[in-house]
Amino acid sequence: MDEDGPQAQASLKKSTSMNSIKSSESTGSIGFSKSWLSWDILPSEWDIFWLSTALKLLLFPSYRSTDFEVHRNWLAITHTLPMSKWYYDTTSEWTLDYPPFFAYFEKFLSIPASLIDPKIVDLNNLNYDAWSVIAYQRSTVILTELVLGIVLLKFIRGSVEPPIQRIVSASIFLHPGFLIVDHIHFQYNGFMYGILLWSILMARNGNKLASGILFAVLLNFKHIYMYLAPAYFVYLLRSFCLSPTGQIHIKNFLSLANAVITVFVVSLGPFALMGQIPQLLSRLFPFTRGLNHAYWAPNFWALVTATDRVLLKYAQLTGAEITINESGVASSSRGLVGDTVFAVLPNVKPVHTFVITIVFQLIWLFKLWRNPTYKSFLTALTLSGWTSFLFGWHVHEKAVLLVLIPLSLLAAERQAYFRTFVLASVAGVFSLFPLIFTPTESIIKVIYSTIWIAAVYIPISRRVYEYPKSITYVIMDTLEKVYLAGFPLLFLFVSAFPLMRIQQPSVTNVATSLETCVSADPLDISCPEPLATVVQSTPGVSALEFLPLMATSIYCAVGLVWSFMRLGFIYLHEESTYQGQLSEIK
């Protein structure tokens, strides 16, 4: 964190000066207000900033998941313990399991925290929830998110069509995913995605070295971005280290390699010297989890699992001659918890998910290798993350941001991209809804997401609309609209279902069960078993109990899988059919 400062700042400055020239040309007629507070920022952009900041401030007292305590605990660990003990401490169950840069970041944040209220950084002060720590941690989320805001502004300044990019930038800054996951649930995704977008911005501006360095930095903040690494690797190798004819640029290659190695040395070096790398890795990659997360992430495996359940029901009802795995029957009666074992379909092992992911990745990477432009890189990056999300082992619903954020940058390109973006965003954001289950916050998440999608849809759809060209497209268009129209119905079902169940006693409240579940899910830790036992004790009920969650997961998975296929198709036909404004960037 500290080490990337100077370099990063230098590149930021460079791009500022470069873009300010461009923007003053392209937006000369706007007439900036000469108020003392404006640094080349339009009033409308300030409006968005203040509006969202006010809302985020109002969300201070909202529901917090245990991620809040996780991060508070990390403040305490990094503040009170020497570095050598960071990855060994087990005072709290929420041990440090992010890469070192994030630990440094927490160390940095813990300094003001200790001045504001020393109890925040007290290692044994578990589940501390005084107003001081809430206000402090929530503020740090808002403040670090400024990185995202600034980067998104820079995106507008040098873009091909600033008005369109302004909408796209605003849509990312105001993304419901960030509101739900960061400002209610509590995480630092805004900051992380700020770095990611910064890196993408550098790629767009042609500064590929900076792009690579920033991505390396990002990886050392949170390792989930490894999902995107293949696209980065191919893109930088092909377009930065090799000439178009295939000759290697030794100088570029060495500078990139050295820079990336330096980043990793700064991050991991101290721990390597202490011989703690195995311990660190075991914290980062705990391989002891099931195929599906507690609440199925809306991916391919959710569909497969659902198919298995349907087939099992079919077999049980008709007595069809299908070999049934008995442990799979037990697994299916356990709702959504624990390791997933199929009853009818062959079981899935990590290696299977790995192979499928690799195969799909290779398609996009091959295409990227042949056409290493910015737009191609962006699409491949999105598809790369998307592939991992759909086919990965034990994927989290929150990882859908990995798809939605880069995809947003493509949203206004053409009607085809836009429709993909709308489908994926609606499904993806809806799939995040179960994270927030307290009543007032639920109202907020729904209203906010609705406003957001309307505010993005209305202006962009007018801009990019194209008539469906053939009967196939008309049918597809209609089906997609029907699918989107299903979301309000799904929402009605999901919210009405618990109310109907309340009438019947002896049913554990969905909200409370879910609470146990979600609260045990800081980052990548699966649900603890106690819930499973609760559910097992009433097997007949449990299947219904989780019906809303299952329905949400499956319905969203349909949209995400379909829009994934859409984007994949578009990508493979990009050069011939789907040229847009981003194609102008070389």
What span, in angstroms and rounded, lies between the C-alpha atoms of 189 and 178? 7
| Distance in Å, CB of 57 to other proteins, minimum | 4
From candidates 14, 16, 146, 163, binder to other proteins by CB under 8 A: 163
| Cα 116 → chain centroid | 31
What span, in angstroms and rounded, lies between the C-alpha atoms of 144 and 191? 5
The size of the interface with other proteins (CB under 8 A), counted in residues, is 50
Tokens of 510: 């969905």
Q: Which of residues 426-445 bind other proteins (CB under 8 A)?
A: 438-441, 443-444
Q: Is 455 in the site for other proteins (CB under 8 A)?
A: yes
| Distance in Å, CB of 58 to other proteins, minimum | 4
What span, in angstroms and rounded, lies between the C-alpha atoms of 427 and 239? 34
- Look at the block and give the residue holding tokens 């729904």: 446
**Pick from 55, 30, 7, 19: which is nearest to 452 by CA?**
55
Task: Using the minimum distance from each CB to other proteins, give the nearer residue, 134 or 365.
Answer: 134
| Cα 111 → chain centroid | 28
Q: Is 115 in the site for other proteins (CB under 8 A)?
A: no
Task: Using the minimum distance from each CB to other proteins, give the nearer residue, 163 or 270.
Answer: 163
> What is the 3 state secondary structure string of 218-231?
HHCCCHHHHHHHHH
Tokens of 505: 């006693």
| Distance in Å, CB of 398 to other proteins, minimum | 22
Backbone angles phi, psi at 248, to 5 degrees: -85, 135
Tokens of 160: 């091909």
Task: Using the minimum distance from each CB to other proteins, give the nearer residue, 226 or 455.
Answer: 455
Q: Which of residues 3-62 bind other proteins (CB under 8 A)?
A: 27-31, 33, 35-36, 42-48, 50-51, 53-55, 57-62
Q: Which of residues 532-561 bind other proteins (CB under 8 A)?
A: none
Q: Is 189 in the site for other proteins (CB under 8 A)?
A: no
Q: Is 130 in the site for other proteins (CB under 8 A)?
A: no
Q: Is 112 in the site for other proteins (CB under 8 A)?
A: no
Which stretch, 106-114, 363-371, 456-464, 537-545, contacts other proteins (CB under 8 A)?
Answer: 456-464
Q: Is 495 in the site for other proteins (CB under 8 A)?
A: no
Instruction: Give 82's contacts (C-beta < 8 A, 6+ positions apart).
Output: none
Instruction: Give 257's contacts (C-beta < 8 A, 6+ positions apart).
Output: none
What span, in angstroms and rounded, lies between the C-alpha atoms of 566 and 417? 8
What span, in angstroms and rounded, lies between the C-alpha atoms of 486 and 502? 25
Q: Is 462 in the site for other proteins (CB under 8 A)?
A: yes
* Contact positions vs other proteins (CB under 8 A): 27-31, 33, 35-36, 42-48, 50-51, 53-55, 57-62, 135, 161-164, 166-167, 170, 438-441, 443-444, 447-448, 450-451, 454-455, 458-459, 462-463
